[in-house]
């Protein structure tokens, strides 16, 4: 009974579908009459004299039939897809082509957090929807810290930023997700943080909450936590008052000292299985950009993430920061960033280093201090391929420009071959 009612809806008046199906059927009829008309002219029984083929009438019927079929199918497809394309301005074929292109794109895993990792996600989402962001959950400041203390949830802030990066930047829902309240009890909270926390409470699982949030924003990819365990950053920091142990990400940065050692508590936090699986099956893994000690390393200190990075056959790229970060990497060069990574994950885990070589003063402000290249004789140049290129966002030169970053990430020869082969395959599909 339900089956018949469901199919009966197709016959409801005013839905704008039946007319185009009928037009296509009439087109098939006209095309068939045109073909039959020619056929009958040649197979007439004992014609005397032999009749002339009726080319004009046949050509008219065939042309009319093909036009009606094509236009009917086109309008039928538009009517059928309209409910799913409310906010889309491009044509149907452009939307289908773009969707197929991204679905067939390479598998990319981006590891980090904060405000740096979204640059990588925005860089890659035009080329593939097979993107997984592996995000730190060690944040304890701002809105995330308050929700963590008040509700006992994992900090949602970095997760929210990266979900928004994989969504449509112009979407009203994305703007709502990033909206931050200015006053009252909710002052300082981002709506997306509250949404993720509430959804995690309703579903009983942060994993499910992230999946459902991704559906709401229709993101191009996935966002996973590095771990589902409640972890805290602990660092030994040398300050003007001496060396001391500091607990909490926000306190470590605020100490404005030299970080000598950093770790997680508990040390045996387990990696989220989805993050490990994504790394193992990736074509490319990108570390960063982002705060070296408080966004990138917290992911790599999770048991299972390091092992997956060593075991995967993916190309592993480290994207070095453009500017030094006060309280973390004061005075660091590109080589210093690399050596800190080696200290915690060992040598040779990644193969390629991408670094900026453009240092504009316009829009930079007085506080921006750029990360300088490694010395020409530095030993890291013997262990890694280091590519220097312009990665600067002109409006905010301390951050990466997504388009420039995409061009740099896609530069390795075997990746270019992958893109070329995918493009050729898509061109075959579209033709």
Q: Does some domain include residue 367?
A: yes
Calculate the dihedral angle through the C-alpha atoms of 26, 30, 36, 40, rounding to the nearest 10 degrees.
130
Q: What's the pLDDT score for residue 299?
A: 96
For the purposes of burial, counting CB atoms within 10 Å of the CB of 111, is it exposed (0-12), middle (13-18) or buried (19 or more)? buried
The reply to whether 342 and 293 lie within a common domain is: yes
Q: Does some domain include residue 3?
A: no
The reply to whether 259 and 276 lie within a common domain is: no
Distance CA 357, CA 427 (A): 36
The reply to whether 125 and 271 lie within a common domain is: yes
Q: What's the pLDDT score for residue 329?
A: 94
Q: Does some domain include residue 2?
A: no
**Cβ neighbour number for residue 151 with a 10 Å cutoff:** 14
Strand 258-265 versus strand 232-239 pairing type: antiparallel
Q: What's the pLDDT score for residue 418?
A: 45
Q: What's the pLDDT score for residue 96?
A: 55
Nearest to 167 by CA among 116, 213, 114, 224: 213
Q: What's the pLDDT score for residue 366?
A: 87
Q: Does some domain include residue 321?
A: yes
Q: Does some domain include residue 183?
A: no
The reply to whether 300 and 355 lie within a common domain is: yes
Q: What's the pLDDT score for residue 47?
A: 56
Q: Does some domain include residue 398?
A: yes
Q: Does some domain include residue 340?
A: yes
Q: What's the pLDDT score for residue 311?
A: 95
Q: What's the pLDDT score for residue 253?
A: 87
Q: What's the pLDDT score for residue 422?
A: 44
Question: Using N-to-C axis directions, what is the helix angle for 117-124 and 157-166, rounded to 10°?
Answer: 20
Q: What's the pLDDT score for residue 317?
A: 95
Name the domain boundary from 249, 265, 281. 265
The reply to whether 312 and 420 lie within a common domain is: yes
Instruction: Specify the number of domains making up the chain.
Output: 3
Distance CA 122, CA 107 (A): 15
Three-state SS at 74: helix
- Give pLDDT tens digits for 378-408: 999 999 999 999 999 999 999 999 999 999 9
- 293: domain CATH number is 3.40.50.10680
In this structure, are residues 129 and 220 in contact, taking their beta carbons and an 8 Å threshold?
Answer: yes
Distance CA 361, CA 344 (A): 34
The reply to whether 324 and 289 lie within a common domain is: yes
The reply to whether 34 and 123 lie within a common domain is: no
Q: What's the pLDDT score for residue 6?
A: 57
Nearest to 321 by CA among 138, 120, 187: 120
The reply to whether 310 and 418 lie within a common domain is: yes
In this structure, are residues 375 and 409 in contact, taking their beta carbons and an 8 Å threshold?
Answer: no
Q: What's the pLDDT score for residue 412?
A: 61
The reply to whether 352 and 243 lie within a common domain is: no
The reply to whether 344 and 401 lie within a common domain is: yes
The reply to whether 256 and 363 lie within a common domain is: no
Distance CA 111, CA 132 (A): 9
Distance CA 376, CA 388 (A): 13
Q: Which domain holds residue 22?
A: 12-84
Distance CA 148, CA 271 (A): 19
Q: What's the pLDDT score for residue 423?
A: 46
pLDDT beneath 70, residues of the chain: 1-16, 41-54, 81-104, 170, 412-431
Q: Token pair of 38, please?
A: 């020619």
Q: What's the pLDDT score for residue 115?
A: 87
Backbone angles phi, psi at 75, to 5 degrees: -70, -35
The reply to whether 416 and 283 lie within a common domain is: yes
Q: Does pTM surpass 0.85? A: no
């Amino acid at each position: 009974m339900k089956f018949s009612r469901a199919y009966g809806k197709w016959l409801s008046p005013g839905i704008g579908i039946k007319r185009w199906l009928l037009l296509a059927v009439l087109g098939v009829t006209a095309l068939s009459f045109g073909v039959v008309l020619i056929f009958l002219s040649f197979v007439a029984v004992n014609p005397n004299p032999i009749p002339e083929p009726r080319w004009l009438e046949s050509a008219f019927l065939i042309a009319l039939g093909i036009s009606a079929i094509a236009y009917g199918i086109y309008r039928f497809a538009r009517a059928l897809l309209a409910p799913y394309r409310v906010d889309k301005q491009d044509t149907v074929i452009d939307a289908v082509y773009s969707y197929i292109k991204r679905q067939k794109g390479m598998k990319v895993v981006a590891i980090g957090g904060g405000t740096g990792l979204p640059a990588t996600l925005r860089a890659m989402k035009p080329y593939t929807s097979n993107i997984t962001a592996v995000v730190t959950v060690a944040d304890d400041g701002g809105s995330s810290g308050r929700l963590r203390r008040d509700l006992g949830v994992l900090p949602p802030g970095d997760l929210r930023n990266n979900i928004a990066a994989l969504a449509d930047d112009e979407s009203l829902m994305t703007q709502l997700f990033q909206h931050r309240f200015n006053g009252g009890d909710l002052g300082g909270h981002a709506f997306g943080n509250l949404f993720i926390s509430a959804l995690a409470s309703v579903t009983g699982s942060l994993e499910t909450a992230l999946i459902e949030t991704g559906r709401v924003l229709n993101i191009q990819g996935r966002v996973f936590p590095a771990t589902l365990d409640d972890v805290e950053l602990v660092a030994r920091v040398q300050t003007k008052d001496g060396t001391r142990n500091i607990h909490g990400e926000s306190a470590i940065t605020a100490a404005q000292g030299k970080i000598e050692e950093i770790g997680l508590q508990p040390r045996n936090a387990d990696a989220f299985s989805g993050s490990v699986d994504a790394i193992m099956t990736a074509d490319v893994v990108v570390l960063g950009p982002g705060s070296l000690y408080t966004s990138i390393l917290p992911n790599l200190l999770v048991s299972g993430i390091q092992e997956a990075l060593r075991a995967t056959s993916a190309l592993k790229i480290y994207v070095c920061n453009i500017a030094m970060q006060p309280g973390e990497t004061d005075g660091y060069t590109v080589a210093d960033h690399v050596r800190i990574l080696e200290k915690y994950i060992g040598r040779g885990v990644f193969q390629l280093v991408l670094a900026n070589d453009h240092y504009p003063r316009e829009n930079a402000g007085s506080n921006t201090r750029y990360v300088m290249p490694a010395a020409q004789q530095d030993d890291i140049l013997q262990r890694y391929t280091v590519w220097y290129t312009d990665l600067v966002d002109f409006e905010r030169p301390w951050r990466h420009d997504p388009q420039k970053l995409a061009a740099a990430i896609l530069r390795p020869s075997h990746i270019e071959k992958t893109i070329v082969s995918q493009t050729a395959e898509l061109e075959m599909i579209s033709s």
